[in-house]
Amino acid sequence: MSGSFLLAGGRVIDPSTGTDDVRDVLVREGRIETVARGVTGPEGIPRIEARGLVVAPGLIDVHVHLREPGAEHKETIRTGARSAAAGGFTTIWAMPNTDPPLDDPAAVGFVREEARRWARKGEGGARVSPVAAASLGLAGEQMTEIGGLVEAGAVAVTDDGHPIHDPALMRRLLEYTQSFGIPVLQHAENMALSAGGVMNEGAVATALGLRGIPNASEATVVARDIYLAELTGGHVHVQHVSTRQAVELIRLARERGARVSGEASPHHMALTEEAVCGYRTEAKMNPPLRSEADRLAVRQGLIDGVLECVATDHAPHHYEEKEREFDDAPFGIVGLETALAVCIGELVTPGDLPLFDLIERMSTAPARLMGIEGGTLRPGSRADLILFDPDEEWTVDPANFRSKSRNTPFGGWEVTGRVKRTIVGGETRYDEGG
Using the minimum distance from each CB to another protein, give the nearer residue, 131 or 198. Answer: 198
**Residue 313: active-site member:** yes
Give min distance, CB of 279 to another protein, in A: 3
Does 319 engage in binding with another protein (CB under 8 A)?
Answer: no
Which residue, 134, 137, 138, 136, is CA-closest to 172? 134
3-class secondary-structure state, position 143: strand
Least Cα distance to 355 among 330, 313, 309, 390 occurs for 390
CB neighbourhood size of 314 (10 A): 32
Which of 323, 343, 348 shows the shortest CA–CA distance to 410?
Answer: 343
CA-only gyration radius of the chain, Å = 21
Per rule CB under 8 A, count of chain residues that contact another protein: 22
Q: Give 218 or 384: the residue with its C-beta nearer to another protein.
A: 218
Among 227, 233, 324, 371, which residue interacts with another protein (rule: CB under 8 A)?
324
- CB–CB of 361/308 below 8 Å? yes
- Dist. CA 245–CA 229, nearest whole Å: 18
Task: State which of residues 43, 99, 255, 320 lies at the interface with another protein (CB under 8 A).
Answer: 320
Q: What is the DSSP letter of 294?
A: H
Site string for another protein, 10-49 (x = CB under 8 A): ----------------------------------------
We find the least distance from the C-beta atom of residue 295 to another protein, in angstroms, to be: 16
Smallest separation, CB 71 to another protein (Å):
18
Say what the alpha-carbon torsion angle 398, 271, 385, 14 is, to the nearest 10 degrees: 160
Q: How far is the CB of 212 from another protein (least distance, A)?
A: 6
Q: Which run of H or E residues covers position 132?
A: strand 132-133
382: helix, strand or coil:
strand
Binding window for another protein (CB under 8 A); candidates: 58-66, 71-79, 197-205, 413-421 = 197-205
**Among 115-123, 321-329, 401-409, 426-434, which window interacts with another protein (CB under 8 A)?**
321-329
Pick from 214, 262, 398, 409: which binds another protein (CB under 8 A)? 214
| Residue 201: CB minimum distance to another protein, A | 5
Of residues 136, 193, 208, 303, which one binds another protein by CB under 8 A? Answer: 208
* Cα–Cα distance measured from residue 236 to residue 238, given in angstroms and rounded to the nearest whole number: 6
Residue 394 interacting with another protein (CB under 8 A) = no
d(CA 277, CA 99): 32
The 273-312 contact track toward another protein, x by CB under 8 A, reads -----xx---------------------------------
211 binding another protein? (CB under 8 A): yes
| Backbone torsions φ then ψ of 138, nearest 5 degrees | 55, 30
Binding mask 325-344 for another protein (x = CB under 8 A): xxxx----------------
Instruction: Write the CA distances from 256 to 226, 263, 392, 430, integer angstroms.
Output: 11, 19, 42, 42
CA distance linking residue 19 with residue 92, whole number of Å:
24
| Binding residue for another protein, selected from 40, 179, 206, 395, defined by CB under 8 A | 206
Percentages of the chain per state (helix, strand, coil), in multiples of 5: 35, 25, 40
Q: Which stretch binds another protein (CB under 8 A): 43-51, 54-62, 174-182, 202-210?
A: 202-210
Q: Out of 159, 313, 357, 384, which one is annotated catalytic? A: 313
Residue ranges that bind another protein, judged by CB under 8 A: 201-212, 214, 278-279, 320, 323-328
Q: Which residues are catalytic?
A: 313
